[in-house]
Amino acid sequence: MTDLNSSFFNVTREGAVAVLEMNRPDKANCMSPDFWADLPRLAAGLDSDSNVRCVVLTGAGKHFSGGMDLATFADINTMLQQEPGRAAYALRDLILRLQGSLSSLEKLRVPVIAAVHGACLGGGIDLITACDLRIASRDASFGIEEIHIGMAADVGTLQRLPKLIPPAVVHELAYTGRRFSPDEALGWGLLSSVHDDREAMLDAAMELAQNIAEKSPLAIAGIKRAITYSRDHSVEDALDQMATWNAGMLRPEDLQKAISAKTRKQEAVFSDLLSTSL
């Protein structure tokens, strides 16, 4: 069985829904080295667990995440004091590893719902753009704040956010680093809903996750793969991918269960996928 213990995250289960809670409330859940190491390992573990059908990602304490831990920047500064060519190579390798850590959520076969309250800044934006769905409480505050420390965001925001909201808005937010509100984010389409407080937001996230978990896990995996693929490919290529997926994955069992349940005005119960753990 995959080890789901972590020094940064609390991992809990409510039925088929796994909850990943960042648990450094005293440091606003800033992303320390153990965040970057543990996230892809936990994502792989959840991916291989056939009983998991949806993931909710949230933060303990007053804030979702204040972004990258400043200690990481100190380590980068030390690295850059070395021989220039080797320092540049090492920094590129580090950035790619950080990017891969967040991309693990995008590659996870099940949907990931970001449940945001308080501050969601810098790396927090990189994190939520790698999720499938985002909801927030009214006290949430967002910002692409890397410009304030003289750098461009480099682990996903500038690549994913223009696919989620109007590019002109991304330009403004990235160039200025200004904070923006949940209502703005909702209007742009970054969020799917806004709730009065953290408790109501978490309840809504769990309700949404349970709703997703009741659906065919094979169909949900296919939908996530198709949406992600179509984002980065032409319509023609994406249609071909979808035809190939359904030609291989569409099977009578789930269809018959869904149709039979609908006829009886009942909820269908779908089998888990096969476990991929060794």
Residues 85 and 139 in one domain: yes
Among 171, 197, 213, identify where a domain stops.
213
- Whether 180 and 241 map to the same domain: the answer is no
29 and 103 housed in the same domain: yes
Each residue's pLDDT, cut to its tens digit, for the chain (278 residues) gives: 467 899 999 999 999 999 999 999 999 999 999 999 999 999 999 999 999 999 999 999 999 999 999 777 777 788 888 999 999 999 999 999 999 999 999 999 999 999 999 999 999 999 999 999 999 999 999 999 999 999 999 999 999 999 999 999 999 999 999 999 999 999 999 999 999 999 999 999 999 999 999 999 999 999 999 999 999 999 999 999 999 999 998 877 888 888 888 888 888 899 898 876 65
The CATH number of whichever domain residue 62 belongs to comes to 3.90.226.10
Count the domains in the chain.
2
- pLDDT at residue number 1: 44
With beta carbons less than 8 A apart as the criterion, state whether 141 and 118 touch.
yes
Looking at the fold, whether 13 and 68 belong to one and the same domain comes out as yes
The verdict on 101 and 191 lying in the same domain is yes
Q: How far apart are CA 222 and CA 245, in angstroms?
A: 7
Give me the domain span that covers residue 88: 9-213
Q: What is the DSSP letter of 180?
A: B
- 235 and 125: one domain? no
Q: Are residues 171 and 221 in the same domain?
A: no
CATH of the domain at 254: 1.10.12.10
Residue 272, domain member (yes or no): no
One-letter-per-residue 3-state SS of 92-134? HHHHHHHHHHHHHHHHCCCCEEEEECCEEECHHHHHHHCCCEE
Closest CA to 253 of 210, 222, 216: 216
Identify whether 253 is part of a domain.
yes
Of 213, 238, 271, which residue is a domain's last? Answer: 213
pTM: 0.94
Do residue 108 and residue 26 come from a single domain? yes
In angstroms, the CA 149 to CA 231 distance is: 30
In a domain? residue 2: no
Element spanning 88, H or E: helix 84-107
Residue 220 per-residue DSSP state: H
> 104 and 170: one domain?
yes
User: Looking at the chain, which runs of residues are DSSP E strands?
Assistant: 9-14, 17-22, 54-59, 112-116, 119-121, 133-137, 141-143, 193-195
Angstrom distances, CA of residue 173 to CA of 63, 64, 242: 20, 19, 34
Asked if 43 and 179 sit in the same domain, the reply is yes
Counting beta carbons within 10 angstroms of the beta carbon of residue 181, is it exposed (0 to 12), middle (13 to 18) or buried (19 or more)? middle
Which residue reads 């080890």 in tokens?
3
Residue 262 burial by CB count (10 A; 0-12/13-18/19+): exposed, middle or buried? Answer: exposed
- Tokens read off for 176: 């200025």
DSSP per position, 42-71: HHHHHHH-TT--EEEEEESTT-SB--B-HH
Mark whether 105 and 243 lie in a shared domain: no
Comparing CA positions, the residue from 3, 85, 76, 1 lying closest to residue 33 is: 76
